Amino acid sequence: MAKGYWVSVYPAISDPEGLTAYNKLARPAVQAGGGRVLSRGGCRVVAHEAGITQRVVLVEFDSFEQAVGAYESEAYQKALAALPDGFERDFRIVEGID
């Protein structure tokens, strides 16, 4: 079974401290959904082409279905509701290759 991944890129964060409430809810929701954070925020980034060097988060799940289920979970939806205004995020759920 192919793994599933959450890929989040944050082109603009006007209030980094405002993400605190989201992070407090998101981390346990991701873990409860079986996710493992592989990369988050302050890691080094080298951007090419149209890439950006801002915050990048990569989360791995045992399957694509598990990744979708974790996103749709009640716990993660509460985390999303806590996201502050004034930031952009490009979020995708992608299926890995066996």
pLDDT digits (tens, 9 = 90+) for 17-69: 778 888 899 999 999 999 999 998 766 778 888 877 778 899 999 999 999 99
Residue 71 backbone zone (phi > 0: left; psi -120 to 50: alpha; other: beta): alpha
In sign, the C-alpha dihedral spanning 27, 18, 85, 7 is negative
Rg of the chain over Cα atoms, rounded to whole angstroms, equals 13
Other Cβ atoms less than 10 A from the Cβ of 37: the count is: 15
CA dist 40 and 63 (Å) reads 20
User: Which listed CATH number (3.30.70.100, 3.40.50.12280, 3.90.110.10, 3.40.50.1220) goes with 4-95?
Assistant: 3.30.70.100
Prediction pTM value: 0.88
